[in-house]
Structure 1
Amino acid sequence: MGGIIWLASYPKSGNTWVRTFLHNLLLNANRPADINELTKFTIGDGNKVWYEQVTGKPYSDLSDEENAALIPKVHQAYARTRPDSVFVKTHNWLGKKHGIPLVTPEFTAGAIYIVRNPLDVVISLSDHYGMTIDQGVDMMNDVAAYSGETDRKVPDFLSSWSNHVTSWQAMDKSARHILRYEDMLYKPEKTFSELAKFLGLRPPKERLKRAIKFSSFETSRKLEATTGFNERSDKAEKFFRVGKAGQWKTALTPEQIEKIVTAHRDVMKEFKYLPPGYK
């Protein structure tokens, strides 16, 4: 049995992009992989079916505390699905729920963490969850923030944007790799090559370029328009919305920008996200 390699991020930060890249890289096909088959290589954390498999009971039959106690067993079940490592997507912060770690150390091999400018995140996040921008700002600034439970999925415990980022940063550097969304956008070959290297992969240049092309935003958007995407929120018109950086410059008010910067200045400065005029 191998261990879990977590694909972790705050929601709407590029997690699906990384999963699509890995899917295309590993398949090495001559056409883009089906975006509705990403689970072939990546498990989605928090699907209720896993909780029901380890107990034989409906998820709703157990209390929140009882379900939290099952997290290590669920993670063990993830790890057992592959003889080597398995990718698991998560939006949880690296914290605890009812005293139980949301990421079980003994079944963890490492993590890939994707970070994106929170000024852009809030725009996509608000659209995804059907909220106003102001509600999205409040959510990202809330240390107790979590995503809502659905018919299929348990809530994601997010905390604030800063807490989310710094919690994953605290993981042993040798076991985690951090990607900036903006570097994926503007320096794709260098950024995805470093990701492959972290995973112990040495793909030929042409294979790497093909995986980057097949996982591009434009390719994924066209595929969603043709086949739909099973991870689209029922509150959003489409999952692959814009796929750019810097939308905040015209989409956010000065008050909204100020509120986000005030809450997350230190982490934003570290990742070079502070707007002009802020120090």
Structure 2
Amino acid sequence: MCFVSDVLFWSFMAMGKLVWLASYPKSGNTWVRAFLHNYIVNAETPHSINSLVDFSVSECAMAFFGAPGEVLTPQEAQAKRPAIHDALTRLHEDLVFVKTHNANLSLHGVPLCSPGVTAGAVYIVRDPRDVALSYAAFTGKTVDEIIAFMAEAGAANAGDGTQVFELLSSWSSHALSWVAAPRRLLVRYEDLLAEPERYFGRIIRFLSAPGTAVAPDRLRRAIDFSSFSTLAGQEAKEGYRAGGPSGEKFFRAGKAGGWREELSPAQAAAIWAAHGGVMEKFGYPRD
């Protein structure tokens, strides 16, 4: 099924077939997936948020690793990961989009994102102060708990029968691990919000053959159909099956800089103390 042959950069495939859509949690991964689906489908109505598996998959889904309800240890999951990633390349004839929150690291001697089958990566980064607020609402934990979690080198999402574990590491380590990846495009959440045509267009150009023009109307429609108001409206109407354990809305405000009103000075200072050096590399100021 060649669903993206008119869009994607086929020369990537000499290197591999998986295009990682990578981010720390609550950094815009689902938003970018929705945009790509709408751009690829190019329909007259928005693509359903509950159909984001049409053209992309979640790498950690238990369905790829074993029986539903089975809980694998990190060692067991890592032993299976290379074969799983190889199998993912056969889901489609062309490139395969794979969502991951894993850091681009190795564990138990096995890469979390197998380089041999990788075509490239789009990495979405977001100000960790806004991440902390959104992640706390998503998980039902306190902001202070999430701030501490984001500073842990061994931070991970545990396997639970629906997914295998994901190694996030600290926010800083996560970001630096993907910046070091070859054939990757870095996009900031804040830039996607501020100048969507420019930066979503950059994603399409990264994935397109040299000289391929981005269709302006198609781009604008995909941006509109994946806007936060559209996604939130879909969630309110039909629910979102990948919503968080806390029962809170998955698509909240979708804004940048909310930390200035919602974080205490001590909380903002704690995040800066843990990640300030890396935040500056991505253009996030202290104040």
TM-score (norm 2): 0.91
RMSD: 1.5
Work out whether residues 196 and 202 of structure 1, in 8 Å CA contact, stay in contact via their aligned partners in 2: no
Question: What's the counterpart of residue 192 of structure 2?
Answer: 184
1:234 aligns with 2:245: yes
Say which of 185, 189, 201 aligns to 1:193. Answer: 201
CA-CA distance at 1:61 after TM superposition: 7.7
1:129 aligns with 2:139: yes
CA-CA distance at 1:14 after TM superposition: 0.2
Question: What's the counterpart of residue 39 of structure 1?
Answer: 53
Question: What's the counterpart of residue 33 of structure 2?
Answer: 19
Aligned ranges 1:104-253 → 2 under 5 Å: 104-172=114-182, 175-200=183-208, 202-253=213-264
Work out whether residues 71 and 161 of structure 2, in 8 Å CA contact, stay in contact via their aligned partners in 1: no
Mind listing any 5+ residue stretches in structure 1 that lack a counterpart?
none
Question: What's the counterpart of residue 102 of structure 1?
Answer: 112
CA distance, structure 1, for counterparts of residue 227 and residue 172 of structure 2: 27
Question: What's the counterpart of residue 103 of structure 2?
Answer: 93
CA distance, structure 1, for counterparts of residue 213 and residue 92 of structure 2: 21
CA-CA distance at 1:230 after TM superposition: 0.7
**AA matched with 2:23:** S
- 1:130–1:62 Cα change, 3 Å: closer
CA distance, structure 2, for counterparts of residue 5 and residue 165 of structure 1: 17
CA distance, structure 2, for counterparts of residue 73 and residue 178 of structure 1: 27
Alignment coverage as a number of residue pairs: 270
**AA matched with 1:228:** G
Determine helix, strand or coil for the equivalent of 1:70: helix
Work out whether residues 20 and 215 of structure 1, in 8 Å CA contact, stay in contact via their aligned partners in 2: yes
**AA matched with 1:212:** I
List per-residue Cα deviations over 1:191-218 (Å, max 9, x = no partner): 0111100001633111110000000001
CA-CA distance at 1:129 after TM superposition: 1.1
CA-CA distance at 1:147 after TM superposition: 1.4
CA distance, structure 1, for counterparts of residue 73 and residue 36 of structure 2: 36
- 1:169–1:132 Cα change, 3 Å: same
